[in-house]
Structure 1
């Protein structure tokens, strides 16, 4: 039995929690070991990551998958959402005691002639709704490549609407990759549950996203990181498209937060375990540090149906010496990472 105590975010109230298996309790637990005390978060979340393959097109490798997931845990990530994997994952994915809880959408679903060779499943428009619904019935999510790069035709609105309706009918959710204005509009008008990337999207759609509950996972840090390299390339329509969209992306993120859109932190990057980079990028775009941290913790967990640091909640937590909202660099130095009621990482102090 373990115990943690301190100020729990988001509200900063003092809590004293014990892990009774994989659930937090405030009741007395005899002989519970005080693992850490400080500032407590209910575990970090990477809402857009694709573990298990080193490069686009690679096969899913179970050893690589474990390594990637351990990198997440080292960074304090106790929950991931993988909107697209190189293949269906092994049975231990998401339940192994030393790796994060996981939500996933299986392989990506794409139109013919689009997406990375060797990854995903290509489908005709007529079969896309039923394929997406079958995937979501198995795993809770389906991921559709709504558009591809600068010139790929987006999935038509009537098809995407049928996909969303079919997935919702089986109790699932739809994530849509989009980096074009046209594809972003299709995703929002179709009622997708989350827009992944959202580069070049019309800010005029943000009010509708907020109203219908469509989340935005902007993967801002990886775009910002790639921008200098893209700028160094020879001039082309594709280069101008990417530079224009990536430069405007921080403004879109800030506007989304202001409009009440739920923003989720996702890294979409290798090496894994770089959630701090995304939180920094969200704050740098103009989100309050409190909200940027929420996008990678309690709000993202709520989006996935997980309560925070309260009795009966899953026993995940990350403990820091200081309030990470006033110093985001604290995220790089957790005192302890608790996953499923077990201390998987502990840094002894004093």
Structure 2
């Protein structure tokens, strides 16, 4: 259709502090938002876009939402579509052919999109299958969220992630080359593992793994190419060194301090807490994760929670990320929604969590206004539901409609089919 008006909803655009009632938006045939405002204005604009040709391809359309709530599609900033935790998951990825791997990732991408996550930031995949999947999604060959990817995560020899196809390197020159290899493959950002974590058997969370020269080589090389760098990080003293060197983001941050968070806030360093990974015992057990990793993850939980609260109190910019598969079943909902509930329980308001889960993801990538918000020029990525997630993000447990780029990808009620305007 030349243009489609979505009308009769309460709309939150990812920017405002509250809902716009009796709202409408117009989606052009390019899948981008042409107008946001009053429902009657949206109808008028859609009609004016009618080309006047015969048949539905040249006419305006309308979707009547009957009071439903509409929010931007969610943005999950810490995703691995080829997640390879120790145990059967890792064995499966390592034994897979490249074709197997791409199909596995494509299935995860499809299910992620249906769960309401319309954009993802991949932070460490295998064999550059992420690049192939990104191309296929962009070309419309398979269904999935918008992908921004780091390629392989970088680590020292034997460092965190080496057994999950992390790119091992040593010395400043080695890390400089490794960074350039990800950029050559098409990386949108760089991910580097600067300490141990919960999934490395022969390390501890607080094991430092890169020298300052190695960290500097990654950060300076990526920045020279216009890419941001985020770091898998556990202890505060390692993170402090990286932040001082110009790091852009911290993933997990299992042991942040109030002082470090104050420095992060001052420098605009982002935090993606992935708080779920230190409290998702059922997920670990169901996927055959070894006991040593489960014990380490759960043991990190109290300090991890405190880190998130330090970040909230200091005003650190926070973006949503799960590390768990975004669509994975978790406590009666998806990992993505459960992560949002954890963030709210830790002290963020529902509005702050919603911003961290939509607009913030695009801002992290310096792509404000392209997705994550419902404003003119942005991709028409919508989540449709009945409840009020600005009051309690648990309302997202009952989402029933998902739209990406103007295309309906989930419609549990059969209510999102556009009819031709007469």
TM-score by length of 1: 0.89
Deviates more, 1:57-66 or 1:316-325: 57-66
Aligned 1:184-333 pairs, distance under 5 A: 184-226=239-281, 245-270=300-325, 272=328, 274-304=335-365, 305-307=367-369, 308-333=373-398
- Which residue of the other structure, out of 146, 154, 162, is the alignment partner of 1:109? 154
Residue in structure 1 matched with residue 123 of structure 2 by the alignment: 83
RMSD over aligned CA atoms reads 2.8
Of 29, 52, 55 in structure 1, the residue corresponding to residue 46 of structure 2 is 29
Paired residues of 2:120 and 2:147 also in contact (CA < 8 A): yes
Question: What does 1:173-184 correspond to in 2, within 5 Å?
Answer: 173-184=228-239
In the TM superposition, what whole-angstrom CA distance separates every residue of 1:61-85 from its partner, at most 9, and x where no partner exists?
1111111112211211000001111
Question: Per the alignment, do residues 224 and 172 of structure 1 end up closer, same or farther by CA in structure 2, a change over 3 Å counting?
Answer: same
Correspondence for 2:57: none
Offset of residue 92 of structure 1: 2.8
- CA–CA distance in structure 1, aligned partners of residues 150 and 268 of structure 2: 19
Q: 2:90 aligns with which of 56, 60, 67?
A: 56
Which residue is 1:44 aligned to? 74
CA distance in 1 between counterparts of 2:194 and 2:25 reads: 43
How many residues align? The count is 347
CA deviation digits over 1:93-136, x for unaligned, max 9? 55254210010000111100123425111111222023214424
Higher helix share: 2
**Per-residue deviation, residues 206-252 of structure 1 (Å, max 9, x unmatched):** 1221122211111001212249989xxxx99x999755642122222
Structure possessing the higher radius of gyration over alpha carbons = 2
SS of the residue corresponding to residue 127 of structure 1 reads helix
| Aligned counterpart for 1:13 among listed residues 17, 20, 41 | 20
Q: How far apart are the structure 2 equivalents of 1:343 and 1:33? A: 13
Query: What residue ranges of structure 2 are gaps of 5+ in the alignment?
Result: 36-41, 48-59, 198-203, 286-290, 329-333, 416-422
1:142 to 163, 167, 190: 190
How many angstroms apart in 1 are the aligned matches of 2:318 and 2:136?
25
Query: Against the structure 1 CA distance between its residues 130 and 8, is the aligned structure 2 distance closer, same or farther, given a 3 Å change threshold?
Result: farther
Mark the CA change 1:13 to 1:303 in structure 2 (over 3 Å): closer, same or farther: farther
CA distance in 2, matches of 1:219, 1:334: 22
Encode CA deviations 1:271-291: one digit per residue, 9 max, x unaligned.
Answer: 645210110111111111111
Inter-partner Cα distance in structure 1 for 2:258 and 2:166: 29
Instruction: Evaluate the alpha carbon distance shift between residue 268 and residue 96 of structure 1 in structure 2; reply closer, same or farther with a 3 A threshold.
Output: farther
Q: Contact 2:196 / 2:208 at 8 angstroms: preserved in 1?
A: yes
2 CA distance for matches of 1:279 and 1:99? 21
Asked whether the 8 Å contact 1:227–1:243 carries over to 2, the reply is: no
